[in-house]
Structure 1
């Protein structure tokens, strides 16, 4: 989206290097997710990522470039388990595992999840191309697989897209509304016991809704 060739290669190298320095999506997204892209200074982002502003600008020439890079990275993390859906695997096993993996992402990358939520609330001005392109194509492809499972009697008849939306909404709630969750329950996904309780409950509620009777 921001060019190809050497510049893109540098940005990819920086991303790998930043992981070693702790500059994962959550660190880079922290300030932006709290104050929004226009209310955040690059100095704040650089400080959270543990690098200088000069180094940050070398790989990301603007806040917008950094913003989109973080969004694309968290989107890739979210969608990786969905890409593993195949017609020849047990649908209940696949969906149960997908729920766990999505909750792990909400636990491990809450700030990046909030940043993605903020982008959606604003109408996806910088990410619409991703949503209508690769994301839609993947959802269409995997919805067809879910439809195949339903046609073969392996799942109850539900709309595949609504099933995917339900999983996204439920699992991402624990990151995007972590403050509310903690206020009500006194815990977050960082608490190991609460995390496992959440996984178990979300899995059972969704699985029981799609299990063949």
Structure 2
């Protein structure tokens, strides 16, 4: 499965315009994940994209506009596995599949994870309305589904919200603290052993 890629809104009438907007988006992801919004500059984004600063401004009003659109695109990707969580499979296996997808995202999208984490640390000023609106509604829906599995004796009882939080914290740690993890492991790729450990951890936690 190919990894998802944050993409700008489908504006622009020509292929070249769309490609330039995507190049700016890709460059901005690098710059923002390394420096945050405050430390990023349009000059740095333009240089990374191989474009002039006026060319970047032609497509986006400023770095804040790029940042907000990038975050919104990223959030769509980030919550997609949660949207897919359903009662189509046995509950433990369904949740373990969700855990595996989140861990895969940490492996394949570390820049995106760190950018999202930085926004959260700064009190999410650009997407707070999304978090308290659509994301909360989605969480309420999935927590109710998980609670129904627990009430039916199909999962060990716990708080559904904190269960989801724990999945996020465990899986995204490998992206957000990648340098620390690799240093402690002596340079070993954490994803050689993390999937097995994380699956055992949550399987034991979820089993009634």
| TM range, smaller chain | 0.7 to 0.9
**What TM-score do the two structures reach when normalised by structure 2?**
0.84
CA shift, 1:156, in A, is 0.6
> CA separation in 1, counterparts of 2:197 and 2:51?
40
Aligned with 2:19 (options 13, 17, 20): 17
CA shift, 1:23, in A, is 5.1
> CA separation in 1, counterparts of 2:28 and 2:108?
13
CA shift, 1:160, in A, is 0.6
Q: Is 1:99–1:199's contact at 8 Å kept on the other side of the alignment? A: no
- Name the counterpart of 1:198: 194
Count of residue pairs brought into register by the alignment = 200
Mapping 1:1-213, distance limit 5 Å: 9-10=10-11, 17=19, 24=26, 27-187=27-187, 191=189, 194-212=190-208
Q: Is 1:29–1:70's contact at 8 Å kept on the other side of the alignment? A: yes
CA shift, 1:159, in A, is 0.7
CA shift, 1:104, in A, is 1.5
CA shift, 1:207, in A, is 1.8
> CA separation in 2, counterparts of 1:52 and 1:106?
32
> CA separation in 1, counterparts of 2:42 and 2:173?
28
Q: Is 2:24–2:46's contact at 8 Å kept on the other side of the alignment? A: no
> CA separation in 1, counterparts of 2:133 and 2:139?
10
Q: Is 1:119–1:125's contact at 8 Å kept on the other side of the alignment? A: yes
Cα distance change of structure 1 residues 79 and 8 upon mapping to structure 2, 3 Å threshold: closer
> CA separation in 1, counterparts of 2:153 and 2:110?
37
**What TM-score do the two structures reach when normalised by structure 1?**
0.82
- Name the counterpart of 2:3: none
Q: Deviations over 1:118-164 (max 9, x none)?
A: 11111111110111111111111111110111111110111110010
- Name the counterpart of 2:4: none
Cα distance change of structure 1 residues 131 and 185 upon mapping to structure 2, 3 Å threshold: same
Q: 5+ residue gaps in structure 2?
A: 1-7
Q: Is 2:25–2:66's contact at 8 Å kept on the other side of the alignment? A: no
Cα RMSD for the two superposed structures: 2.7
- Name the counterpart of 1:3: none
